Amino acid sequence: MKFAIQSRRDAQSNELMELARNYLQDFGLTYDEDMPEVVISIGGDGTLLHAFHRYSHLLDQVAFVGIHTGHLGFYADWKPSELEKLVLSIAKKDFNVVEYPLLEIQVEHHNAESNTYLALNEATVKSPDVTLVIDVELNGNLFERFRGDGLCISTPSGSTAYNKALGGAILHPTLAAIQLTEIASINNRVFRTVGSPLILPAHHHCVLRPVNGQNFHMTVDHLKVSQGDVKSIAFNVADEKVRFARFRPFPFWERVHESFIANE
C-alpha cells in the first residue's frame, strides 16, 4: 500500500511524521506523495483541510486519517501515543472506510469560464464593500435579499467549525446536506432575512445572485478564492465524497462532547 503524510510542520508533528514514515516503510509500505492510498495528517483539523485540498483530485482512491498534536479534533482524532497501533492497523489494512459528503461550489462569470470548488468544511461569501447585498435563491425561487456581513455554507462535517460559531446546527457528518448560516444579517423594519440557519437536502440547491457589485471575497475552507465579474454562485451537495479510514469506533456525539463539553 502507498501512503503520504501531511504535517503541520511544528517540531512534534515533524518528529511523528518521521516515526510514522519509518514504521510504515519497515512494514513494507511505500511512501508516495503523488498517488497515495492512505494520507496521514499530523497536526490538527486545519492540517487535514490542507491534506484534503492537496489530494482533492484523488478522492476516490485516498483514505484520510488524522493524528492530533494539539487538542482532539473532528478529523484529527488519534493521539500521538497511539501511533504504533495506528501504523499496525494501516499495515494490516485493518480498517473500515467511512464516507462524508462535501460541498460543491460553482461560480459563474459574465465574461469568463466558470470555476468549481470542493469544500470539506465550508465556503463563505463576503463583500469587499461594507455590506454584502445578495439575492438568495432556493431551488430556482427567490427566497430573500440578504444584507449583512456575509453567508456561510457548510458541510455536515464542517458544521462543528465556523458554522457552529455562527449559531448553526451541528449535523451528523453522514447526512447528505448543506447548511446556510448568516453572518451578521441586517434585520429591521425595512430589511429582512429569515434569521435562522437553513439545512438543505442533497436534491436541493442554493444560488446566490449579485445585486449591486460583482466582486466577492470568498473562502473555501482555509483558502481565499476572491472572485470578480460574478454572475452567480451555486452550492450543492457534491457528487464526490471524502473517505476517512476508521480503525476503531469513536461515535460522533462522543467527539462533540469531548470537544465542546467535557471538562478535563
With binding defined as CB under 6 A, does residue 121 bind ligand NAP? Answer: yes
With binding defined as CB under 6 A, does residue 66 bind ligand NAP? Answer: no
Of 100 and 146, which has the nearer Cβ to ligand NAP? 100
How far is 254 from 263, CA to CA, in rounded Å? 13
With binding defined as CB under 6 A, does residue 44 bind ligand NAP? Answer: yes
Q: Give me the least distance between CB of 47 and ligand NAP, in Å please.
A: 6
How far is 62 from 55, CA to CA, in rounded Å? 8
Cβ–Cβ under 8 Å, residues 134 and 146:
yes
How many chain residues bind ligand NAP (CB under 6 A)? 18
With binding defined as CB under 6 A, does residue 17 bind ligand NAP? Answer: no
Q: Give me the least distance between CB of 78 and ligand NAP, in Å please.
A: 12
Listed residue (123, 94, 88) closest to 236, CA to CA: 123
CA–chain centroid gap for 172, Å, is 14
Q: Give me the least distance between CB of 75 and ligand NAP, in Å please.
A: 6
Catalytic residue among 26, 32, 45, 94: 45
Of 29 and 120, which has the nearer Cβ to ligand NAP? 120
How far is 169 from 163, CA to CA, in rounded Å? 8
| Stretch 195-224: interaction string toward ligand NAP, x if CB under 6 A | --------------------------xx--
- Residue 45 annotated to the active site: yes
How far is 55 from 35, CA to CA, in rounded Å? 9
| Stretch 154-193: interaction string toward ligand NAP, x if CB under 6 A | ---xx-xxx--x----------------------------
264 is in an annotated binding site: no
How far is 55 from 38, CA to CA, in rounded Å? 11
How far is 46 from 6, CA to CA, in rounded Å? 11
With binding defined as CB under 6 A, does residue 74 bind ligand NAP? Answer: yes
The CA-atom distances, in angstroms, between 176 and each of 15, 192, 238 are 37, 29, 9
Cβ–Cβ under 8 Å, residues 105 and 220:
yes
Which residues partner with 244 through β-bridges? 64, 98
Active-site annotation, residues: 45
Residues that bind ligand NAP (CB under 6 A): 44-46, 49, 70, 73-74, 76, 121-122, 157-158, 160-162, 165, 221-222
